């Protein structure tokens, strides 16, 4: 793999899905669960599942308008890796799990040579005794706490239960939905949140004093997105590990940090996509694609079971390659017929074309792309079979070019 990829800043994010009191109908389950090949189609108003089809909501955080990266965008909680996430001090806190493979996370079936660098890099050679799979999850838990106030940890009591009852295929597996642990009152938790925001090293101190561990076992590997070229400049390039976590219920103490994050929103995947297409909020391509995937599962338990079992398959690294024309812009993804050979290893690739959208699609049998007519009118166009037993995005509508709108 090209060492130029190491110029990306490493980050980790969590797709948080939390249960609501809404009950699913049999009809809503059968409408959405089909995982067949999606049709090569896009529209400003796709036939998405109804928001009432879902028994869960997803957390999105609105970035500040003054942010240097994706201002005003709604994103999943997460952020940049900090050296403290790889600190040797975690070894003592995780001592009960150190004899287990990857601290009880188990192994991934994906061959090491095809693993994305963010997951396959030997951290010991970089001076860290903490496995990368562990440190990235610690980062994701810490950043989620900093940005939203949602703290994903296990107490000492829960640690014992995890050790004694949930060993499955060399993996400490939580088959039930994750529960938010109340370690202390809200005021004390708020104080810790301020301290962790001031210095990420305080997250280690917090876990030690509150006698808890980051719940790395509740986070299931979901994907790996790299920032494309020509969007935010070379100084704003991120290699981001995506995880998914399914909570029993929506946390009552979600609160934006009023610094990087100015607003939070719990909504169903379908509702978010409808709001995006109605120009009420803007989401980036990774959020658009993954929320479209989640539309396959209106049931939180089904989503949890799928993500928990699929995680051991691994994932593919995706660096969108931008193709720009007069009528649209396209984010080509690996597997697409027009995706450049070794495109995922190239730092600066932007394709330009004079062709119309119909001409771009014509003659291509393998499609894996996000087509956008404008910042709010987009859809995934996919005819390939996803790798690593992953999901196709939900799309069932017809493309209308700008001249037809």
Summarize pLDDT for 71-110 with one digit per residue, the tens: 789 999 999 999 999 999 999 999 999 988 889 898 899 9
Do 137 and 243 meet the contact criterion of CB atoms below 8 Å apart?
Answer: yes
3-state secondary structure of 276: helix
pLDDT at 3: 38
Q: What is the pLDDT of residues 39-76, one digit of tens each?
A: 444 444 457 788 889 999 999 999 887 776 777 899 99
Do 93 and 204 meet the contact criterion of CB atoms below 8 Å apart?
Answer: yes
Using CA atoms, how far apart are residues 78 and 245, in angstroms rounded to an integer? 13
Whole-prediction pTM: 0.89
Do 377 and 401 meet the contact criterion of CB atoms below 8 Å apart?
Answer: no
Beta bridge partners of 203: none
Q: What is the pLDDT of residues 226-274, one digit of tens each?
A: 988 766 555 568 999 999 999 999 988 777 666 778 889 999 999 999 9
Do 278 and 267 meet the contact criterion of CB atoms below 8 Å apart?
Answer: no
Residue 166 has pLDDT above 50, yes or no: yes
Q: What is the pLDDT of residues 289-306, one digit of tens each?
A: 999 999 999 999 999 999
Over 306-330, what HEC string results?
Answer: HHHHHHHHCCCEECCEEEECCCCEE
Q: Which two tokens stand for residue 328?
A: 């649209």
Higher pLDDT, 5 or 258: 258
Residue 342 has pLDDT above 50, yes or no: yes
Residues 6+ apart with CB under 8 A from 83: none
Do 13 and 140 meet the contact criterion of CB atoms below 8 Å apart?
Answer: yes
Residue 111 has pLDDT above 80, yes or no: yes
């Amino acid at each position: 793999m090209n060492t130029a990829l190491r110029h990306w800043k490493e980050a980790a994010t969590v797709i948080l899905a939390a249960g609501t009191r809404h009950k699913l109908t049999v009809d809503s389950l059968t409408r959405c669960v089909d995982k067949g090949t999606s049709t090569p189609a896009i529209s400003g108003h796709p036939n998405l599942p109804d928001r009432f089809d879902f028994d869960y909501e997803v957390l999105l955080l609105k970035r500040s308008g003054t942010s240097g990266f994706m201002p005003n965008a709604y994103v999943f909680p997460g952020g940049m890796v900090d050296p403290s996430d790889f600190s040797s001090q975690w070894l003592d806190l995780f001592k009960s799990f150190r004899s287990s493979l990857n601290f009880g996370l188990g192994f991934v079936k994906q061959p090491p040579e095809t693993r994305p660098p963010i997951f396959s890099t030997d951290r010991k050679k970089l001076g860290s005794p903490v496995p990368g799979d562990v440190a990235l999850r610690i980062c994701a838990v810490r950043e989620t706490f900093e940005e939203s106030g949602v703290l994903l940890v296990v107490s000492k009591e829960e640690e014992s239960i995890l050790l004694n009852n949930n060993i499955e295929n060399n993996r400490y597996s939580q088959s039930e939905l994750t529960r938010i642990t109340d370690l202390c009152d809200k005021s004390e938790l708020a104080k810790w949140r301020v301290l962790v925001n001031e210095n990420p090293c305080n997250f280690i101190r917090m876990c030690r004093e509150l006698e808890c561990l980051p719940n790395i076992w509740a986070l299931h590997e979901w994907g790996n997105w790299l920032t494309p070229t020509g969007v935010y400049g070379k100084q704003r390039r991120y290699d981001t590990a995506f995880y998914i976590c399914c909570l029993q219920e929506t946390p009552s103490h979600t609160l934006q940090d009023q610094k990087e994050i100015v607003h939070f929103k719990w909504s169903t995947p379908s509702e978010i996509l409808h709001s995006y297409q109605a120009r009420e909020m803007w989401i980036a391509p990774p959020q658009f694609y993954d929320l479209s995937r989640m539309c396959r599962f209106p049931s939180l338990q089904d989503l949890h079971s799928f993500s928990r079992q699929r995680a051991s398959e691994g994932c593919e690294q995706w660096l969108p390659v931008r193709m720009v024309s007069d009528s649209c812009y396209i984010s080509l993804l690996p597997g697409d017929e027009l995706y450049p050979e070794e495109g995922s290893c190239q730092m600066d690739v932007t394709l330009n074309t004079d062709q119309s959208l119909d001409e771009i699609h014509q003659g291509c049998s393998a499609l894996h792309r996000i087509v956008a007519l404008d910042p709010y009118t987009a859809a995934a166009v996919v005819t390939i079979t996803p790798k690593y037993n992953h999901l196709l995005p939900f799309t069932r509508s017809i493309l209308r070019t700008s001249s037809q709108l």
